[in-house]
Amino acid sequence: MSNPEFPTTYQPLEISRLDYAYDRPGTMPGHLHLSADAPPAELVLIDYDCNSSTRATISEPAKIKEYLKTHTVSWIDVLGLGNMATWDALSSIFNLHQMLVEDVVNVPQRPKIEHYQDQVLIIAIMVVLNPTRTGFSKEQVSLVLGKNYLLTIQEEPEEDCFHGVRQRIEIDRGIIRKQGADYLAYCLLDAIVDGFFPVLEYYGELIEDLESEVMIRPNRSTLEKIYKVRRELLTIRRAIWPQRDAINSLIRDGSDLISSEVQVYLRDCYDHTVQVMDMVETYRELATGLMDVYLSAVSNKMNEIMKSLTVVSVIFIPLTFIAGVYGMNFDGSKSPLNMPELGWYWGYPLCLALMVITAASLIFFFWKRGWFKSSI
């Protein structure tokens, strides 16, 4: 349910003019945009099979090799982009192509699927609703799928939507520990897509509050809020649209690393992206409609103001005419045609009475015509 009052803590998402990073012309392929003093990435390993699961923080990347030699599924979650030392070690351990590393590190990239010799790179955009419900954060998540492992790289280590997947592995809920790394990749993709729904629910409530504000008290800040909501919905649309195409490409083209059973689950994930797209388009249309309603409300309000000013002007025009005529002060003794009313004993009271009667007659006329009734 939406609040009757518009949330005063609403802070719009800042959107840059360019959504994707570009190299300078002539840059060597595989060049990484990493700061020289960047801290190393945090490596979290979850290794599991149908009997047990292990979770550990890896301080030395070389220790990952021990887990890759077993038949268990190893999920290596890289929190943060890290530095060159981190990627030199990971590239050596997983035999990563330099173009794969470039797509992972040089964020943001457009969501896509890339097939390599024995790996599949999946780049997705994850959105997470802020804890204060004042907008959302957006980051790139890269998934490198191998035979018995999944390497995930998160741009920001603070917040993600993978808590449910980690919990399912830990308590052995569902079939995740009975499946391979391809099913784990599906679960993470599904969590990323499902993360769009709470964000869109927030914008649905926001639009409801804006509808009330537009109808009750539209002002300049209302227009700014509507515009910013449309821009943020555009950001979500630009994130989910290529993501839908990437998942569809993964289903259509397939891979030796993805089983036919997981292909069925990926179709369900694709359906969720279509639902998100429909919701985004619906909310964008509602926001556009709100802008039209706002402009109509402001126009009606202006018409009411102009009508009130017109009524006041029309009432005072004949009074001004009467006062102007009797303000000419022609001497009545010089000619009988020079305003004989100036010499009357009751001339001044009669002039005021004429003004009052004229004004009252005009007010009664306008009232009978319904001009004093507000249209908003």
So what's the pLDDT on residue 234? 93
Say if residues 138 and 127 touch (Cβ distance below 8 Å).
Answer: yes
Question: In Å, how far are 135, 174, 240 from 234, measured between CA atoms?
Answer: 14, 36, 10
Q: Where in the chain are all domains bearing CATH 3.30.460.20? A: 42-296
Q: How far is CA 96 from the centre of its chain?
A: 34
pLDDT at 3 over 50: no
Q: The domain at 303-369 falls in which architecture?
A: Up-down Bundle (1.20)
Share of the chain above pLDDT 90, in %: 48
Q: How confident is the model at residue 10 (pLDDT cuts 50, 70, 90)?
A: very low
pTM of the full structure: 0.76
Does residue 143 have a pLDDT over 50?
yes
Report the percentage of the chain scoring pLDDT > 70: 88
User: What pLDDT sits at residue 373?
Assistant: 65
DSSP-assigned letters across all residues of 159-197: --S-HHHHHHHHHT-TTGGGS-HHHHHHHHHHHHHHTHH
Distance CA 169, CA 148 (A): 15
CA–chain centroid gap for 291, Å, is 16
* Chain segment 68-80, per-residue pLDDT in tens: 888 899 999 999 9
List the structure tokens of 23: 């190299």
37-46, 69-78, 214-223, 364-373 — which is least confidently predicted? 364-373
DSSP code for 9: T
C-alpha torsion 260→112→124→244, nearest 10: -70
Q: Which of 351, 193, 185, 348 is nearest to 269 (CA)?
A: 193
Q: How far apart, in whole angstroms, are the C-alpha atoms of residue 345 and residue 105?
A: 98
Helix (H) or strand (E) holding 46, with range, is strand 42-48
Spatial contact of 75 and 94, defined as CB atoms under 8 Å apart = no
In CATH, what is the architecture of 42-296?
Answer: 2-Layer Sandwich (3.30)
Phi then psi dihedrals of residue 344, to 5 deg: -75, 150
Q: State the Cα–Cα distance between residues 282 and 166, nearest whole angstrom.
A: 33
DSSP state string for 48-86: E-SS-EEEEEESSGGGHHHHHTSSSEEEEEEES---HHH
Query: How would you list the strands of the sheet with 112-115, edge to edge?
Result: 53-58, 42-48, 73-79, 149-154, 136-145, 120-129, 112-115
pLDDT band at 5 (very low <50, low <70, confident <90, very high): very low
- Residue limits of CATH 1.20.58 in the chain: 303-369
pLDDT tens per residue, range 107-121: 888 999 999 989 999
Token pair in block for residue 220: 């300049």
Mean pLDDT of all residues in 271-282: 95
Distance CA 243, CA 123 (A): 8
Let me know how long the chain is: 376
pLDDT at 347 (0 to 100): 74
Average confidence score pLDDT of the chain: 84
Most trustworthy range by pLDDT among 65-79, 129-143, 216-230, 324-338: 65-79
What are 268-271's contacts with CB under 8 Å, separation 24+?
268/190, 269/186, 269/189, 269/190, 269/193, 270/244
Q: Which pLDDT does position 359 carry in this prediction?
A: 84
CB atoms within 10 A of CB 210: 25
Residues 296, 290: Cα–Cα separation, whole Å: 10
Give yes or no for a cis peptide into 218 (omega within 30° of 0): no
251 pLDDT above the threshold of 70:
yes
| Average pLDDT of the segment spanning 36-43 | 81
Instruction: Give the pLDDT band (50/70/90) at residue 22.
Output: low
